[in-house]
Each structure stands twice: as C-alpha cells, then as structure tokens.
Amino acid sequence: MRKTDFAFWTFLLMTGFAGAATVLNVSQTHSATTSNSDLYRQLDLFGDVLERVRSDYVEKPDDNKLIESAINGMLTSLDPHSAYLSPKHFRDMQVQTRGEFGGLGIEVTMENGVVKVVAPIDETPAARAGVLANDLITHLDGEQIVGLTLEQAVEKMRGPVNTPITLSIVRKDHEEPIEIKIVRDVIRINAVKSRQEGDVAYIKVSTFNEQTHANLVRAIQNLDKTIGKDLKGYIIDLRNNPGGLLDQAIAVSDDFLERGAIVLTKGRNNEETQRSQARPGDITAGKKVAVLINGGSASASEIVAGALQDHKRATVIGTRSFGKGSVQTIIPLGANGAIRLTTARYYTPSNRSIQAKGIAPDIVVEQELPEEMKAKAKKSNVRGEASLRGHLKNDKEEDEQSGSSAYVPKEAEKDTQLQYALKFLRGQITGTATTSASPQPPEKKAN
C-alpha cells in the first residue's frame, strides 16, 4: 500500500514537471537530479504522514478532503492569491468571470435564517414575476431554506435556462405567504453602470468580467448621445473594484489610448515577459478623463489606473490602491477542479511595480468618514497587499505601503471624491492635490 501511494505521488510529480523539464540544459542536469531526489524523499514523508492520519486519527477521515487540504496548503503557502479550486468553486469562478448564468435575477442576502431580496434586477425573470425588494424567501420548490447557507440557497436558485422554480415569499402587509413560479433565464451581471451627472459622464466599473469592455463601450456611446456637445469629460469609477480578467483590463485601457504600452507582465524567466500595446482609437475622442481609486481598487483596476496615469491620459483621484501587482493563471485539472497559480508580476508602462505598493493618485482626496466609523478606523489599520501574510515582495521592498480606506458613501452629494472629480472636469478646481475631504492649499506630489 505504501509503495503504491508513493508511486502515485511520484507519477504526479513527474507529469507535473514534464513541461518544466524541457527547459533544462546540460549544466542544470546534475542539480536537477539532486533536487528531484530531495523532493522524492519529501514525498515519501508525505506518504508516511498521510497513512498515519488515515489509520490512527480519532475519526475516519475523508480521503478526498485530506488530499484537497494538502494541495491547498501547498498553494496557499506560496502567496495569498494561489489556491486550489474544487470543482464547485471552479464552476463558481467561471460564472463570475463569464458574467452570465442561468438564474432568476435577484440580489439577495441572508437575514434571520431566510433569504432576503435586496433588489430584483431589471428585465429579469424575477422582476417580471413580481418579486420585490425586502421580500423574504422561505421555501424553494416547497423545501425550507432554514438551515442552508446563503451560498447553498443561491446554488438552488440557479440552474439550467428554461427550468421552473417556485418561491415561497413572506411579504410585509401580506398575511399569507405568496407562491411565485419563475422560469430561469440567462442572467447577465452588468459590470458597468453609468449615469449623467449634468455635463459629465459617470461610469462605474465594478469588476472585470467577460462583459466589461463591451458594456463600457456601450455606456460611453449612450452618454455621448445623451449629453452631446456639452460633455465636459468622463469619470471612470474603479473604487472597490477587486479586479478580474487581465485581457479585459487591457481592452478597457486601450479604449482611452491611441498608442504605447498598457501593461508589462514578467514571469520567472525572461522569455516569459510580455508587453501589451494599445491600438489606435480613443473612443472618448481625447476628452478629459478622471479615474477614481481607493483602498478597494485592486489588480485589474490598478492596471487600468496605472496605464492611464503613466500616459497622462487621465488624472487619478482618490487614495492609494490595494497593491495587488501579480497575475494568476487558472490551470484546469479536468474533473478535479483547477488551481489558481501566481505566474507573473505586472508593471505599468513606465516599468513601475505595483506589488505591495499600489497606485498613488495624482490628486489625493480622502473620503470623509461618518462619526460611527471614525472610532473603528482609529482602532484598525487599513489593509492592503503589503499587510497580507506571505505576500510577494516588491522589487524595492522598502517602498511597500499599499492600501487606504475603502469607504464610499451611498449618497452622491456626500461622496467627496466624486464631487471633487466633477469640479475638476468642469475646471472649477485648479490645485494639484488635496489631502483631506475639504479642499486645501495645493500640495506638490513627488513622483
């Protein structure tokens, strides 16, 4: 049994390193052989521990969970962003990045053991069937929700397109529960929301999924027609945008650039370095652009902010971004899920590494916190990539200082960063920097 287990792990090792072996030259062969021998001994140790746990643990363990936990432990020890994705988590990630799935079209949360509707999404099956905000969903196809997690309840509501599901709903001012039958349809997650702010086009990009670039182009075209010749400029709001697909970040940056580099990705070896270039064509016709960022802006959103900042195509306003300057590759493992592995670092066009450092805005505008949040802010440090245990180090480790507040008020009139950007695009502010919620004398920012 022991030899069989060891042979299995040796097989995994050999197949996993088959691609890497092709890059070894003759001078590396001896050191590689020595290294492999050490690795085999460590795998033998793993086999010993695994068998001891399986035979002696107080309760019979699940073999699949043991192996998954071991794999995940190996990956998470590398950095905070590498991980094993079980088949279910892999499917969930695909739904998130694809931006569409079979479902009902409602935003939900969990309240007192039942699912509460935050809001139905416009023009979806739930909205057409009459589901309302604040409805409480107690049963799905006659089965109680009590005892399920929010994730489990959402999983039950999703499903193949054109399949029905019946929701039992408790609604305020209704004595009896309401039964609503809904037929699932394709639900598209709109990563881009836009609106007119007088003579300024405001565009909020919440994530970078497969729909982001197309939705952004559509939003800009619609706002151009609505505002017309009075358009003063565009606000691209990337605050609290956690990132997403690299190719979408490149496409969005390219929308505003005529030429030049967008992002550089550098892997372990020099031949893995790649440079993405902008193609001619600025869909905003060169009008002024302000990009909003804060401590919740990470990864793909930092690529966009960094590219537009380096090319001086946009003025970046807000506070320092999260500082996630690494690229993760999803490597499918067939029916066994996938691994998310950090394979490269990315750099802005001027060769700045953002890893554990973040994007420093051109104009620093801090958001005014409500009184109840000020005390909490003093007690807890703002978290960024630099504060994550095991994070990849910046090329210049002494420069690490990522992160800032991620608070954004719901009311536009109380949103200091948004109001500053509006005044900036309208030419009502000429100072180069401010360090607090209310305008202060200009402060020079060192680059």
Residue 400 and residue 356 in contact, taking contact as beta carbons nearer than 8 Å = yes
Whole-model pTM: value is 0.78
Residue 388 and residue 378 in contact, taking contact as beta carbons nearer than 8 Å = no
Report the distance separating Cα 290 and Cα 308, nearest Å.
10
65 included as an active-site residue: no
324 included as an active-site residue: yes
427 closest CA partner among 223, 199, 266: 199
Which H/E stretch holds residue 70?
A: helix 63-76
Tens of pLDDT along 287-307?
999 999 999 999 999 999 999
Identify the pLDDT of residue 40.
84
Provide the residue type at 248 as one letter.
Answer: Q
Q: Tell me the CATH architecture of domain 100-188.
A: Roll (2.30)
Half-sphere exposure of residue 374, counting CA atoms within 13 Å on the CB side?
A: 6
Which H/E stretch holds residue 256?
A: helix 246-256
299 included as an active-site residue: yes
Report the distance separating Cα 47 and Cα 39, nearest Å.
12
Classify burial at 145, counting beta carbons within 10 Å of its beta carbon; exposed 0-12, middle 13-18, buried 19 or more.
buried
Residue 115 and residue 135 in contact, taking contact as beta carbons nearer than 8 Å = no
Q: How far is CA 202 from the centre of its chain?
A: 21
Give the count of beta carbons closer than 10 Å to the beta carbon of residue 60. Answer: 8
Residue 94 and residue 119 in contact, taking contact as beta carbons nearer than 8 Å = no
Give the count of beta carbons closer than 10 Å to the beta carbon of residue 149. Answer: 10
Confirm whether 100-188 and 192-425 share one CATH topology. no
Residue stretches of the chain with pLDDT short of 50: 1-29, 379-380, 433-447
| Residue listed under structure tokens 């402060």 | 443
Q: What string of DSSP letters covers 345-397?
A: EEE-TT--B-TTT-PPPSEE-PPPPPHHHHHHHHHSPPP-GGGSTTPPPPSSG
Residues 6 or more apart from 424 whose CB is under 8 A from it? 290, 315, 317, 363
Fold assignment, 192-425 = 2-enoyl-CoA Hydratase; Chain A, domain 1 (3.90.226)
Catalytic residue (one of 324, 353, 402, 415): 324
Identify the pLDDT of residue 157.
93
Interior CA angle at 149 toward 148 and 152, to 5°?
Answer: 80
Catalytic residue (one of 79, 255, 310, 415): 310
Domain ranges of the chain: 2-8+29-85, 100-188, 192-425
| Residue listed under structure tokens 């068998």 | 51
Catalytic residue (one of 206, 276, 299, 326): 299
Residues 6 or more apart from 261 whose CB is under 8 A from it? 275, 276, 277, 278, 307, 349
In angstroms, the Cα distances linking 267 to 96, 271, 327, 329, 384 are 26, 8, 9, 11, 23
The token pair at 23 is: 């890059």
Residue 344 and residue 414 in contact, taking contact as beta carbons nearer than 8 Å = no
Residue 105 and residue 120 in contact, taking contact as beta carbons nearer than 8 Å = yes
Report the distance separating Cα 210 and Cα 204, nearest Å.
16
DSSP-derived 3-state class of residue 283: coil
DSSP-derived 3-state class of residue 317: strand
DSSP-derived 3-state class of residue 75: helix
Classify burial at 409, counting beta carbons within 10 Å of its beta carbon; exposed 0-12, middle 13-18, buried 19 or more.
middle
As a whole-number percent, the residues of the chain with pLDDT over 90 amount to 63
